[in-house]
Structure 1
C-alpha cells in the first residue's frame, strides 16, 4: 500500500506543478485551486507512504519521478525544449535514485 500512496503523491504533485503556470501568479481562481488541492493531496499521500517507508527512499523516488514527468509534460504540452544538459541531468538523477534505492544501507527495504 505505501507504493500506491507514493504513486498518488507523485501524480498529485505533478498535476499541482503543471497547474502553476496556468494560474498566472494565483490570479486565476480555478487553476489556483488546482494547485492548492493537488499539492495538499500530494503531501497527504506522501505522509501516508512514510508510515511504512523510509523518508530518504520515498523522497528520492518522489523527486526523481516528479522531475522526469514534469520534463516530459513541459515538452509535450508547454512546448519546452529538452536539451542535452536537461536529458543528461535527468538521467543522472534517475541513476542516482536507482543507486540509492537499490544499494544504500541507510534505506530499509
Structure 2
C-alpha cells in the first residue's frame, strides 16, 4: 500500500478513535471503549508504516492538522457541537498550515 494511503488510513482511524472517546462516558461503555483502542491501534500501526518512506515532519504535519480538523468536524456534525466563524477560521488555518508545512509538495 502506498505511504500516503497508509497515512490517510492512519488519520481516519485516529479520528474514529478520538470520536469514540466522547461516547465512552469515561470508559464506562464497553463498545465505544473498544472502538477507541481499535482506532488508535490501527492508527499508530498505519502511521508507523507510512514513516518507512515519508519524512517525520511531513507525516506529523498532515497527521496532526487533518486529524484535528476532521475531529472538529465530527464534533460539529455528529455530536452537534457549536459551529461559528472562529471555528471556521481555526479549521481553515489548520488546513492552510498543513499546506504550508508541506512546502507545495516538495517531500525530499
The verdict on a shared fold, with TM-score over 0.5 as the criterion, is yes
Correspondence 1:58 to 2:67: no
Alignment RMSD (CA, Å): 1.5
TM-score, with normalisation over the residues of structure 2?
Answer: 0.91
Matching residue of 2:3 = 2
Task: Indicate conservation of the 8 Å contact 2:66/2:94, yes or no.
Answer: no
Distance in 1 separating the partners of 2:11 and 2:25: 23
- For this pair of structures, how many residues does the alignment match? 107
Q: Which structure 1 residue ranges, 4+ long, deviate > 2 Å from structure 2?
A: none
TM-score, with normalisation over the residues of structure 1?
Answer: 0.90
Matching residue of 2:30 = 29
Matching residue of 2:18 = 17
Distance in 1 separating the partners of 2:78 and 2:90: 21
Cα deviations by residue, 1:64-87 (Å, 9 ceiling, x for unpaired): 111121122111111101222221
